[in-house]
């Protein structure tokens, strides 16, 4: 078949290639093809392999010479708090003095500070801030991003955040998947009315569903946030209304959020820094993905999730960024991958699988993206590096040179070249 676009002179093309969710050795079993080409038609991969792709080329075909760079599937960041107002560098100073993250939250700071600013912000201001962040993420190889609400804690602002995410999805090349997180923290005014708050979150699910503003529901199941029982109430209501569910679980204190997530068939359970051995076994026996967020451990100066044990026990592991103003203020997704290699002790192939096919799997997108395969979207990252391992070893550096989303080159020579595919 003749292609619209052929990428050639690829030093090595890397992709996961087993059926997801990937576990055990499959995570590290990356197909690598040297001296490769990749052919694209209508934004979809129609062929790839060793050679120059001449069989896909006629005078109508555009060709891009990748000059010996390496190519991977586009990175999928399956956990972010993209849309919010302001920043929290004041709190960073407290964290460094040793004040615990959960104490800051309990005193009305932390998430509550961002909630106030997000409530006050115009949709235009939220859009602008998030757009800039999306540009940065895309320049670091992110082609699909999950984005949560959760800085409203009341209907109007939660809707505002999700509407901004929808507008971004229409106007920015990065593909966005929205999650409603109305139970991210308990507003002070509800300290003695927890049930009223939970009832409101559940009531608002109908509005979110009717306006098709999110496909999943998340909750912060944590000390000083929401209990396992409260999480169960909200998430089972969400499932009855047709949402997928996921949980912020075992981030700081292990309450049992992971076991709940597994029981409900959550698409992912996220953070897991304090996960128990029993919960690792439970995860291994399920198709719920362990979504590990090493940037949060780094910024909060806390333990890293035990990724090695999870992989060895057969848990399907993904790695994500958790971009947010409190616990992980960075859009540098390459650094997240480098932390996964350095601190989670994941092998290069495992890191790649964790940020591509397993991330696509828990977002329900593995039929469309997450690997280089015929029939999938041409979401690709071109890296200026001699091999995959090098991109993780040479840390603090963005090795991403070009990015393609749906066959459109949106980053070229480190510059954003196309905004609306």
- Residues lying near ligand NIG in the complex (CB under 6 A) are found at 81, 110-111, 114, 220, 248, 251, 296, 322, 324-327
CB nearer ligand NIG, residue 202 or residue 247: 247
Angle, helix 228-240 to helix 257-264, in steps of 10 degrees = 20
Going from the C-alpha of 113 to that of each of 118, 144, 152, 153, the distances in angstroms are: 9, 28, 11, 12
Angle at 123 between CA 118 and CA 129, to 5 degrees: 70
Binding part of the chain for Fe ion, among 105-113, 317-325, 329-337, 403-411 by CB under 5 A, reads: 317-325
**What's the Rg (C-alpha) of the chain?**
21
In whole angstroms, the minimum distance from the beta carbon of 224 to ligand NIG comes to 10
CB nearer ligand NIG, residue 222 or residue 402: 222
CB nearer ligand NIG, residue 314 or residue 329: 329
CB nearer ligand NIG, residue 85 or residue 405: 85
Note whether 271 and 248 are within 8 A (CB). yes
3-class SS of residue 86: coil
Binding partner of 358, given Fe ion, ligand NIG, none, CB within 5-8 angstroms per partner class: none
Binding part of the chain for Fe ion, among 161-169, 303-311, 315-323, 335-343 by CB under 5 A, reads: 315-323
In whole angstroms, the minimum distance from the beta carbon of 82 to Fe ion comes to 11
175-183: strand order across its sheet: 75-77, 142-148, 175-183, 216-219, 244-249, 268-271, 289-292, 317-319
Binding partner of 325, given Fe ion, ligand NIG, none, CB within 5-8 angstroms per partner class: ligand NIG
In whole angstroms, the minimum distance from the beta carbon of 349 to Fe ion comes to 26
Helices (H), 11-110: 24-28, 89-96, 101-106
Phi-psi region of 301 (alpha: psi -120 to 50; beta: other; left: phi over 0): left
CA of residue 313 relative to chain centroid, distance: 23
CB nearer ligand NIG, residue 76 or residue 104: 104
CB nearer Fe ion, residue 222 or residue 322: 322
In whole angstroms, the minimum distance from the beta carbon of 300 to Fe ion comes to 12
In whole angstroms, the minimum distance from the beta carbon of 289 to ligand NIG comes to 16
Binding partner of 296, given Fe ion, ligand NIG, none, CB within 5-8 angstroms per partner class: ligand NIG
> Which are the contacts of 383, defined by CB distance < 8 A and separation ≥ 6?
69, 70, 71, 72, 141, 391, 399, 400, 401
227-234 long-range contacts, Cβ below 8 Å, gap at least 24?
227/255, 228/255, 228/256, 228/257, 228/260, 230/183, 230/194, 230/198, 231/183, 231/257, 231/260, 232/260, 232/264, 233/198, 233/202, 234/183, 234/198, 234/201, 234/202
In whole angstroms, the minimum distance from the beta carbon of 304 to ligand NIG comes to 14
Binding part of the chain for Fe ion, among 55-63, 129-137, 157-165, 321-329 by CB under 5 A, reads: 321-329
| Residue 26 binds Fe ion, judged by CB under 5 A | no
3-class SS of residue 49: strand
Binding part of the chain for Fe ion, among 103-111, 119-127, 273-281, 322-330 by CB under 5 A, reads: 322-330
Binding partner of 186, given Fe ion, ligand NIG, none, CB within 5-8 angstroms per partner class: none
CB nearer ligand NIG, residue 83 or residue 351: 83
3-class SS of residue 44: strand
Q: Which of 230, 322, 331, 379 binds Fe ion (CB under 5 A)?
A: 322
In whole angstroms, the minimum distance from the beta carbon of 194 to Fe ion comes to 21
Binding partner of 220, given ligand NIG, Fe ion, none, CB within 5-8 angstroms per partner class: ligand NIG
Angle, helix 194-210 to helix 155-171, in steps of 10 degrees = 30
In whole angstroms, the minimum distance from the beta carbon of 400 to Fe ion comes to 23
In whole angstroms, the minimum distance from the beta carbon of 113 to ligand NIG comes to 8
Binding region for Fe ion (CB under 5 A): 322
């Amino acid at each position: 078949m003749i292609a619209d676009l052929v990428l050639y002179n690829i030093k090595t093309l890397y992709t996961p290639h087993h059926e997801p969710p990937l576990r055990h050795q499959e995570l590290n079993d990356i197909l690598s093809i040297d001296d490769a080409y990749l052919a694209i038609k209508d934004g979809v991969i129609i062929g790839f392999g060793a050679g120059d792709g001449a069989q896909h080329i006629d005078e109508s075909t555009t060709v891009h010479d990748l000059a010996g760079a390496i190519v991977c599937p586009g990175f999928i960041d399956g956990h972010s708090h993209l849309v919010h107002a302001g920043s929290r560098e004041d709190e960073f100073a407290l964290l460094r003095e040793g004040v615990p993250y959960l104490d800051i939250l309990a005193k009305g700071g932390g998430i509550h500070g961002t909630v106030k600013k997000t409530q006050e912000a115009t949709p235009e201001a939220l859009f602008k801030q998030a757009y800039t962040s999306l540009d940065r993420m895309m320049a670091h190889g992110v082609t699909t991003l999950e984005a949560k609400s959760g800085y409203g804690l009341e209907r109007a602002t939660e809707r505002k955040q999700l509407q901004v995410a929808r507008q971004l999805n229409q106007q920015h090349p990065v593909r966005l998947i929205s999650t409603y997180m109305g139970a991210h923290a308990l507003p002070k005014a509800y300290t003695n009315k927890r049930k009223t708050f939970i009832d409101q979150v559940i009531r608002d699910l109908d509005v979110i569903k009717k306006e098709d503003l999110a496909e999943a529901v998340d909750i912060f199941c944590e000390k000083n946030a929401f209990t396992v029982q409260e999480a169960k109430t909200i998430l089972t209501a969400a499932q009855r209304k047709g949402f997928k569910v996921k949980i912020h679980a075992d981030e700081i204190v292990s309450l049992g959020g992971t076991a709940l997530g597994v029981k409900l068939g959550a698409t992912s359970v996220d953070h897991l820094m304090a996960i128990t051995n029993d919960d690792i076994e439970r995860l291994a026996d399920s198709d719920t993905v362990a979504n590990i967020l090493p940037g949060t451990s780094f910024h909060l100066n806390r333990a890293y999730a035990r990724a090695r044990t999870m992989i060895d026990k057969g848990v399907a592991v993904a790695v994500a960024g958790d971009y947010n103003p409190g616990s992980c203020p960075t859009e540098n997704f390459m650094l997240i991958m480098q932390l996964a290699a350095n601190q989670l002790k994941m092998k290069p192939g495992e890191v790649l699988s964790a940020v591509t096919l397993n991330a696509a799997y828990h977002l329900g997108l593995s039929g469309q993206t997450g690997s280089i395969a015929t029939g999938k979207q041409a979401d690709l990252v071109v890296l200026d590096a001699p091999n995959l391992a090098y991109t993780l070893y040479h840390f603090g550096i963005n090795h991403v040179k070009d990015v393609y989303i749906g066959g459109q080159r949106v980053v070229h020579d480190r510059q954003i070249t196309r905004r609306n595919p």
